[in-house]
A and B are shown apart, each in its own frame.
Chain A
Amino acid sequence: MLLDFTVDKPTQTVSITAEFEAGLDLVWDAYTKAELLDQWYAPKPWASKTKHMNFEVGGRRFYAMVSPEGVERWAVQKYTSITPKTNFKLFNAFADKDENLELPGSDWDLNFSEQGGTTKVTVSIYNESLERMERLIEMGFKAGTEMQINNLEDLLTTLSQR
C-alpha cells in the first residue's frame, strides 16, 4: 500500500492518493457499499455507522462516526456525479442527528484506476475548511486520550491484582 497526502493551503484542497493490492471491483465496492464503508471509514477506535445510503446521482449517505462511548457525530454525503468504476463526486457536510446539514461543506472528487492488479484511488477534497479538519482531529485526539486512559486503567487493575 502506498499513501500520498498533500494539502494546498491557499486553495484549501486536500489530496490523498493511495494504491491497493486489490482489483478495481473490490476497491469500488469498498467505497460505494454501506456495509463495507462502515468497516473501514472511521479511524479506530471510532466506528462508522451508516443509517441509510442510496448510491446514485442525487442520492446520499447519512452516517455517523461513533465514539467508543457511543457519542455520535453525524455527516451527510450527497452524490453529485457517478461514472461507474472510474469516478464519483460528492458533497460532504457535518449534520445533526435529524439530517440537517451544517453548511458550508466540502466537495470531494474520487478517481479510481487499475493497473496490473493494483488499484489507485485519488481523493481530492475542495474547500476543506480548517474548522472541519479541526473537528475531525479533535475526534481523533479525544479518542486517543481516552484510549490511553483506558490502557492506564487496565494497567493499574493488573498491577493492583498482583
Chain B
Amino acid sequence: MKRDIFQAIADPTRRAIIALIALQAMTPNALAENFHTTRQAVSKHLRILTECELVKQEYKGREIYYSLEIEKMKEIDDWLEQYRKIWETRIDQLDELLAAMKKQGEDK
C-alpha cells in the first residue's frame, strides 16, 4: 500500500522523530532513547516514515542510520500552498463584495 505523506506528520511521535533526524542521522536505538515507548514502536513509526519516503536509510557497518528527505518535506509545503490559494481567492471575493457594498451605500 502506498502511504499518504500526510499520515506521516499526523502523529506526534513521528513529528518528534522527524525533528530529531532533521538534525542528524540516527539509529533506531538512539531514537528510542528519546521516547517513552519501546524500540518496536519506534521501528514501526520509522517504517511508516520510510513508506512515505520521508526518511532514507543508510547502512554503516551493522547499524542502520535514518535521515530526513528534505525534498519530500518541501512537497508538504507546496501542497499547503494550494490550500492557502483557496483562502486567497475567498478573501479576494469578500474584498470585491465589500467594495461593491460600500459603493452601494454611498450611492444611496
User: Interface on A for B, CB 8 Å cutoff?
Assistant: 1, 3, 5, 7, 9-10, 14, 16, 18, 20-23, 26-27, 29-30, 36, 39-44, 129-131, 133-134, 136-137, 140-141
Contact = CB atoms under 8 A, between A and B. Distances in A.
| Interface of B (DSSP majority class) | helix
Given A5-B87, A16-B87, A137-B79, A39 B93 contact: yes
B102 interface: yes
Given A1-B95, A30-B98, A43 B90 contact: yes
Nearest to B19: A10
Contacts of B9: 9, 130
Interface of B: 6, 9-10, 12, 15, 76, 79-80, 82-99, 101-102, 105
A95 to B, nearest CB: 19
Contacts, number: 81
B56 to A, nearest CB: 21
B93 A130 contact: no
A137 B80 CA distance: 9
